[in-house]
Structure 1
Amino acid sequence: MKIVNREWQRSIELKENIIHTIILENKQYFRECVRSLKLQHQGDEGLFIFSDGLKEISLAKYSYIITDLFNLDINNKKILTKIYTELMKYAVENCIELNTIQTHLLNYYENLIHSSSLELEYRDEFDIMGMLKLADFKINLISNNDLEKLIKYLKVLVELCGIKVIFIVGLHMHYTENEIKQLYKELCINKINIINIENRQYKNLSTVDYTEKVYIFDEENCEI
């Protein structure tokens, strides 16, 4: 898989054990790129092109951007939709268990009607999704460790939502070198592709296990 920007000469090849970091030293250009990338993830046209072989694939559908590492919404609409889709699939496939629940509910409704002095009626169509949403299913993210939260969030995006690459803004600014090394190790083990976007240069954290590939654009927006 590959990501290109129409204004850049270089392309980003997504490969195992390669971490990509883009340095945009011009602050105005940094803001413009991040803003444009966010809008493109919302479905707007943009400069970034995501492809797999010769086929262009949807950036909004198969990639994700994190701009606020202090506010990781692991139970956002995109993720919850996937959760309920998976639960719905399980419920339908296990129809015997579902039919038993439906029978008990309908019997309960009948008992309620008989216990009332009013002439009541009810809808006997069984809404599976409505029943599931009554439970208010969410991913449990109880942890005081910010790095653990981030790792779990990235895993959910890839494993549940089918995200193929994740853009992270300001990772090096908010985490220590040791924390980032630990994160990179987890990413490589779980085959998660990320692209860091930073405003200044940081120490290259390549090890024998992975390579951090850095792309630098200076104050004049020249590729170094």
Structure 2
Amino acid sequence: MKLVNPRLGLEVELSENQVLNITVESPVKFSEVVYHICRQAGGEEGEFILSDIEKELSMEKRTVVVNNPLTVNCEEKRILSQLYKNLSEKILEDHFEEFATVNQKVIQFMDKVTSSSEYNLTYDVDFQAAGLIKYCNVHMDSCYDSLTEKFINYLRTMKQICNVDIVFVLNLKQYFSTEDLREIYKHCFYTKMYLINLEGVKSDPIESDRYVIIDKDLCVLDLVY
């Protein structure tokens, strides 16, 4: 996959087993970069182009932006919506007869409730699989021993449930030690997820880091460690 911003002269081929650090030294340009990436990850237009073999890809579908690793949450709307959709499809494909039985029980129960009421009641039966899942409050387990474990689980969830390939993180290295970063890198390499660190000041490199630096004169430097 390739990430391009023609105005900045940025053209980066994303490589497996490599973490991309984009350092934008000008605060104004850094803000613009973050602004456009966030807009496009949210489904709006922007300056970046994500492509794969000359085919443009949707940044809304393939990317996510993490503003603060401390606040990642596997119960965010994007994850739960897709999780419910996946589980609903599984219910209808693999457990249709059992779900139909549950549905019939609900109808029988509502018949009993409404017929025994002193009011003139009726009801609409539209008991969908997603409604059952939501009613049972199905959600991801959120017990973690460390921020690193929590962040890795968030990455895993985004990949497995939402099919996200690229994760942009603002100032990733301000939150994790070198050993923690190695664990995060290892997970991304294993799951073939591209991790991109966005920063305004160049951080200290570790193995498998690649730095694309846009300096204050808008010159682009490319460094691999």
Fold match, TM over 0.5?
A: yes
In structure 2, the residue matched to 1:200 is 201
Taking the TM superposition and a 5 Å limit, the aligned residue runs for 1:82-93 are 82-93=82-93
Give the stretch that moved more between structures: 78-87 or 12-21.
12-21
Q: For 2:24 and 2:149, locate their aligned partners in 1 and report how far apart those are by CA, in whole Å.
A: 27
Quick check: 1:218 aligned with 2:215? yes
Q: For 2:33 and 2:8, locate their aligned partners in 1 and report how far apart those are by CA, in whole Å.
A: 12
Residue identity in the other structure for 1:151: I
- Do 2:8 and 2:218's aligned partners in 1 also have CA atoms closer than 8 Å? no
Taking the TM superposition and a 5 Å limit, the aligned residue runs for 1:134-153 are 134-153=135-154
Q: For 1:40 and 1:126, locate their aligned partners in 2 and report how far apart those are by CA, in whole Å.
A: 35
Quick check: 1:54 aligned with 2:54? yes
Query: 1:10: Cα distance to partner?
Result: 4.2
The alignment partner of 2:203 has SS state of coil
Residue identity in the other structure for 1:76: E
In structure 2, the residue matched to 1:185 is 186
Residue identity in the other structure for 1:205: I
Query: 1:158: Cα distance to partner?
Result: 1.2
In structure 2, the residue matched to 1:31 is 31
In structure 1, the residue matched to 2:16 is 16
Query: 1:124: Cα distance to partner?
Result: 3.5
- Matched positions, count: 220
| Deviation digits for residues 111-141 of structure 1 (CA, Å, limit 9, x no counterpart) | 3244334443332443333232211222122
Q: For 2:200 and 2:43, locate their aligned partners in 1 and report how far apart those are by CA, in whole Å.
A: 25
TM-score, normalized by length of structure 2?
0.90
In structure 1, the residue matched to 2:106 is 105
- Do 2:63 and 2:164's aligned partners in 1 also have CA atoms closer than 8 Å? yes
Query: 1:47: Cα distance to partner?
Result: 1.4
Quick check: 1:78 aligned with 2:78? yes
Structure 1 residues not aligned, in runs of 5+: none
- Do 2:165 and 2:192's aligned partners in 1 also have CA atoms closer than 8 Å? no
In structure 2, the residue matched to 1:158 is 159
Query: 1:63: Cα distance to partner?
Result: 1.1
The alignment partner of 1:160 has SS state of helix
Q: For 1:119 and 1:223, locate their aligned partners in 2 and report how far apart those are by CA, in whole Å.
A: 73
In structure 2, the residue matched to 1:173 is 174
Query: 1:21: Cα distance to partner?
Result: 0.8
TM-score, normalized by length of structure 1?
0.90
Q: For 2:42 and 2:28, locate their aligned partners in 1 and report how far apart those are by CA, in whole Å.
A: 21
Q: For 1:3 and 1:202, locate their aligned partners in 2 and report how far apart those are by CA, in whole Å.
A: 21
